[in-house]
Amino acid sequence: MNIAALIDHTLLKAEATAGDIARLCCEAREFGFWSVCVNPCHVRRAATALTGPARSGASSNVKICTVIGFPLGANLTETKVYETRFALRDGASEIDMIINIGALKAGDDAVVLADLQSVVQAVRESDALCKVIFETCLLTHDEKVRACELCVKAGVDFVKTSTGLSTGGATVEDVALMSRLVKPHGIGVKASGGIRTLANLKKMVAAGATRIGTTRGVKIMQEAAAS
């Protein structure tokens, strides 16, 4: 298992500074993480930090992921699309958008689908990837199933468990459910929220996760090196 290549090295704290983002990007280059995941205001800064050779002389393959409609998903669709296009312009190549949770829970599937399709269309204009965050801790089993079905219809690239800022994070049961529903359609599963150890990561991968969002990437890699 190439653990580093599974990890979106994440820093979404409101208090994150330019120095924190620089350190995040340096760590991502050092360990070979798949991406850094940052708030939209930091995308351009991350792109600059990841451009050109590192001190070792090696160029960076680390991608830039950002979040849209974060953390509630309650933005207007037009706002999500605008935010997406600006993030892509600034250097993002992966977009993690929050589903319209309230509309999903109200059974307004047409509203949810239109929201998803609009962002997916904007993402496709730049040949980028679109992941959709469910915030599974707020959803019933049936709502999680419907969310997966709507994501399949919208043609997203990944479904994702959590923002990491609500009442709960990723669970093995949710990852397994999401994987069972979307994997046959070529859609990946990103487990995020509360994944702090190598053992946690391995459990999520065994359940079907194909990407891991975590703030503890360095710690996990240190565990892996010591094992």
Burial grade of 46 (CB within 10 A; 0-12, 13-18, 19 or more):
buried
Q: Which two tokens stand for residue 155?
A: 């043609």
| Catalytic residue positions, numbered | 96, 160, 190
Q: What are phi and psi of 182, to 5 degrees?
A: -110, -25
Helix axes 141-154, 109-124, angle to 10 degrees: 40
Q: Which two tokens stand for residue 94?
A: 């992966």
